[in-house]
Structure 1
Amino acid sequence: MNLLIKSATIVDPNSPFNQQVADILIKDGTIAEVAKDIKADVEVFEAQGKQVSPGFFDLNCNIGELGLETKEDLKTGTAAAAAGGFTGVALMPNTQPPVHSKAEVEYLFNRAKNYLVDVFPLGTLSQKREGKDLAEMYDMHQSGAKAFTDGTRPVQDSGLMERALLYTKGFDGTVISYPEDAAIAGKAKVNEGEMSTLLGMKGIPSLAEELMIARDLYLAEYTDSKIHFTTISTARSVELIREAKNKGLKVTCDVAAHHLVLTDEALAGFDSLYKVKPPLRTRKDVDALLAGLKDGTIDAIVSQHTPHEIEFKDVEFEVAEFGIIGLQTAFSLALQAGLDVTLIIEKLAINPRKILEINVPVIAAGKQANLVVFNIQGEWGYTKENNLSKSSNSPYIGQNLKGQVLLTCNNNQVYQSNIK
Structure 2
Amino acid sequence: MSLLIKGITIADASSEFNGKTCDVRVEKGAIVEIGKNLELQKHEAVFEQSGAILSPGFFDLNCVFGDPGFETKEDIKTGTAAAAAGGFTGIAIMPNTKPVVHSKGEVEYILNRAKGNLVDVHPIGAISQNLEGKELAEMFDMKQAGAVAFAEAGKAIADDGFMSRALQYALGFDGLLFTHPENKALVGKAQVNESATTILLGMKGIPALAEEMQVSRDIFLAQYHNAPIHISNISTAGSVSLIKKAKKDGVKVSCDVAAHQLVFTEELLNDFDSNYKVKPPLRSKADNKALIAGLKDGTIDAISSQHRPYEIEFKNVEFEIANYGIIALQTVLPLLLQAGLDTALIVEKLAIAPRKLLKLEVPEIKVGAVANFTVFNPTKEWTFNSDTNKSKSANSPLFNKTLKGKVELVYNNGQHIEY
Instruction: Output the TM-score relative to the length of structure 1.
Output: 0.98
Unaligned regions of 5+ residues in structure 2, if any? Answer: none
Partner of 1:28: 28
**Aligned equivalents of 1:383, 1:221: Cα separation in 2:** 46
Q: Which moved more, 1:29-38 or 1:176-185?
A: 29-38
Q: Distance in 1 between matches of 2:28 and 2:59?
A: 22
Q: What is the 5 A alignment of 1:264-275?
A: 264-275=266-277
Matches within 5 A, 1:114-263: 114-263=116-265
Residue 61 of structure 1, CA deviation: 0.6
**AA paired with 1:7?**
G
CA-CA distance at 1:48 after TM superposition: 3.6
Quick one: percent identity of the two aligned structures?
58
Q: Equivalents in 2 of 1:201, 1:152: separation in Å?
A: 22
Amino acid at match of 1:273: N
Inter-partner Cα distance in structure 2 for 1:181 and 1:403:
36
Q: 1:414 is aligned with what amino acid? A: H
Q: CA deviation at 1:158?
A: 0.7
Which of 269, 279, 282 is 2:281 aligned to?
279
- CA drift at 1:47: 3.4
- Cα deviations by residue, 1:140-176 (Å, 9 ceiling, x for unpaired): 0101111111111111111111111111111111110
SS of the residue 2:227 aligns to: coil
2:105 to 103, 106, 113: 103
In the alignment, residue 201 of structure 2 is paired with which amino acid? L
Q: Distance in 2 between matches of 1:132 and 1:15?
A: 47
Corresponding position of 1:6 = 6
Separation of aligned partners in 1, 2:95 and 2:345: 29
Matching residue of 1:84: 86
CA deviation string 1:355-387 (max 9, x = no partner): 000000001111111001111111111111110
**In structure 2, how many angstroms separate the alpha carbons of the residues matched to 1:49 and 1:234?**
35
Amino acid paired to 1:23:
D
Per-residue CA deviation, residues 204-233 of structure 1 (Å, 9 max, x unaligned), is: 111111000000000000000000011000
Q: Deviations over 1:319-370 (max 9, x none)?
A: 0000000000001100000011110000000000000000000011111110
Number of residues paired by the alignment? 417
- Distance in 2 (alpha carbons) for counterparts of 1:19 and 1:163: 47
Q: List per-residue Cα deviations over 1:255-303 (Å, max 9, x = no partner).
A: 0000000100000000001000000001111110010001000011110
- Counterpart contact for 1:9–1:51, Cα < 8 Å: yes
Name the SS for the 1:123 alignment partner: strand
CA contact (8 A) 1:191 1:279 kept: yes
Q: Does 1:324 align with 2:346?
A: no
Determine the C-alpha separation between the residues in 1 that align with 2:266 and 2:27. 48
Deviation at 1:94, TM superposition (A): 1.2
Q: Which TM-score applies when normalising by structure 2?
A: 0.99
Aligned twin of 1:410 = 412
Asked if structure 2 preserves the Cα contact closer than 8 Å seen for 1:6 and 1:48, the reply is no
Aligned Cα RMSD in Å?
0.8
Q: Which runs of 4+ in 1 moved over 4 A?
A: none
Is 1:44 aligned with 2:46?
A: yes
Structure 1 regions of 5+ residues with no counterpart?
A: none
